[in-house]
Chain A
């Protein structure tokens, strides 16, 4: 099976712009979670999606949003980018939300200038 894929792998934006990141889960996996990884804050939970519904949201401002499509692919959007949004954005997929094992994608490295 192909692993979790994320596109694009690298992105450079300027402050005030918006960005959309994409995540394709492992075939058959229906649950997708997103995490932000920074040197200072570590890995922080952003949101969790299952059956096109957001089931959990982390402590991030409303500029961070996401969605899931019927084929389980997920996107996250960050509007009005700030310098502090520079990070590695990781998505992880699992068969179900209750399934133990989550598999991470390679991440999207976002740099905000």
Chain B
């Protein structure tokens, strides 16, 4: 069945360091991969996304890479700041005609000042 695996489950970095979160998906038909950030007690918020026809996308300190062959995508955060501390979820959408997202288990990122 559809599945998204996310690693690591927790990540602690020093302020200014980089953080990398990795996800692997099982459905080769997946064509859209969003990343959400969820702060404690708040709703998930989209921070960046990538479609299957693109290999890499960058938005300021955040970048996402996609390897369709390996069915693997990653989130890269550079120059981390304490306000980056949150739970990050990757997700995959199975086809173009549905809004159904399959989420990874989440990564708790702690940025130490």
Contact = CB atoms under 8 A, between A and B. Distances in A.
Given A55-B98, A101-B49, A43 B103 contact: yes
A66 interface: no
A104 B44 contact: yes
Interface string A40-56: 00111100101000011
B89 interface: yes
B73 to A, nearest CB: 15
Main secondary structure of the interface of A (DSSP, over half): strand
Nearest to A32: B99
Interface residues of B, number: 23
A84 to B, nearest CB: 18
Residue among B99, B102, B105 with the highest chain A CB neighbour number at 10 A: B99
Given A43-B89, A100-B51, A33 B46 contact: no
29 contacts: A33-B99, A33-B100, A35-B101, A35-B103, A42-B103, A42-B105, A43-B44, A43-B106, A44-B103, A45-B100, A45-B101, A48-B100, A56-B98, A56-B100, A58-B100, A90-B43, A92-B101, A94-B99, A97-B97, A97-B99, A98-B97, A100-B32, A100-B51, A101-B46, A102-B34, A102-B46, A104-B43, A104-B44, A106-B43
